[in-house]
């Protein structure tokens, strides 16, 4: 047997006993990060190279620290991003919204589509769009200085074609120079109401930045309302918007994009677990 694989099995059992949702994956990812290999290469690590820091990482994960904060990296679509305290860890659910955004961009008869990512955090959305839509020009907006710094590092590392421009600004007032010119606005804004505090997983509420979680207002949707107003200002006639929300807020977000404000084709869209996850709309041309 391989010593590292034995230790991974022990860590898996500890995580399972503690009720972790993905004990084997967590143990393997921690081991891979400590030893500088991929999860598929763990069996290649010789016994003599076993690094005892693995158990320090395991203890931190057991204490509730997010896996991505321990390893310093998060995977999103085809990207490996630098993350850590002070920046929201991107979630797999958001990948579905990005997939819709890319399909929409590819269907546009626009040579160099202009995209705005409002509340970019780690820049996961902006960088994925830039990577998978090579002709797009992406403006990423983030108001928190700590998250902005993380985004800047990720953009420096991963934006090989120089498509992403990062702005330190509030999504409610950002990019006035682009009013009426943007083809697509996409956003994963804060949307959790404070009344849901007790129901938010501990590793999320204790470690993800508060500004990226709590959306404001009794329903948690004040930030979404700000996105709607900004999208209405930024988009050209016929441009599209996509906004993420919780699986319980689809109806509320749907009605924020009201027809009397010029929105058309408003739709709730579902994630891979078949739950409402984001709303899309088109700005009318009439």
Binding residues for S-adenosyl-L-methionine: 142, 188
**Which tokens go with 28?**
């393997």
Catalytic residue among 15, 66, 154, 188: 188
188 as an active site residue: the answer is: yes
> How far is 114 from 217, CA to CA, in rounded Å?
31
Which residues are within 8 A (CB) of 231 and not within 5 positions of it... i.e. 6 or more apart?
116, 118, 185, 187, 241, 243, 283
189 as an active site residue: the answer is: yes
88 as an active site residue: the answer is: yes
The DSSP secondary-structure symbol of 246 reads -
Estimate to the nearest angstrom the gap between the alpha carbon of 137 and the chain centroid: 19
Catalytic residue among 15, 54, 76, 88: 88
> How far is 264 from 250, CA to CA, in rounded Å?
16
**Which tokens go with 58?**
């395991």
> How far is 77 from 99, CA to CA, in rounded Å?
9
- Pairing assessment for the beta strands 137-142 and 164-168 based on DSSP bridges: parallel
Catalytic residue among 90, 113, 189, 193: 189
Binding-site residues: 142, 188-191
Binding-site residues for substrate: 188-191
> How far is 104 from 3, CA to CA, in rounded Å?
48
- By annotation, the residues acting in catalysis are 88, 188-189
């Amino acid at each position: 047997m391989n010593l590292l694989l034995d230790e991974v099995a022990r860590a898996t059992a500890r995580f399972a006993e503690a009720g972790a949702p993905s004990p084997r994956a967590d143990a393997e990812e921690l081991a891979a990060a400590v030893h500088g290999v991929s999860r598929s290469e763990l069996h290649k690590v010789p016994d003599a190279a076993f690094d005892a820091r693995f158990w320090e990482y395991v203890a931190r994960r057991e204490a509730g620290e997010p896996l991505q904060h321990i390893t310093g990296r998060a995977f999103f679509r085809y990207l490996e991003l630098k993350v850590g305290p002070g920046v929201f860890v991107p979630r797999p659910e958001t990948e579905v919204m990005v997939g819709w955004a890319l399909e929409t961009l590819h269907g546009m008869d626009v040579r160099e589509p202009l995209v705005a990512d409002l509340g970019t955090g780690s820049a996961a959305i902006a960088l994925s769009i830039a990577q998978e839509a090579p002709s797009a020009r992406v403006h990423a907006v983030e108001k928190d200085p700590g998250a902005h710094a993380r985004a800047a590092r990720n953009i420096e590392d991963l934006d090989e074609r120089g498509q992403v421009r990062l702005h330190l600004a509030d999504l409610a007032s950002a990019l006035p120079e682009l009013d009426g010119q943007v083809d697509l606005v996409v956003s994963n804004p804060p949307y959790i109401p404070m009344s849901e505090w007790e129901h938010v997983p501990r590793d999320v509420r204790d470690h993800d930045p508060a500004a990226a979680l709590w959306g404001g207002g009794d329903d948690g949707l004040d930030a979404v309302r700000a996105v709607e107003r900004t999208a209405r200002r930024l988009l050209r006639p016929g441009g599209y918007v996509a906004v993420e929300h919780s699986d319980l807020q689809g109806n509320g977000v749907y009605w924020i994009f009201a027809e009397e404000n010029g929105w058309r084709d408003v739709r709730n869209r579902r994630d891979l677990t078949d739950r409402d996850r984001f709303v899309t709309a088109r700005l009318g041309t009439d």
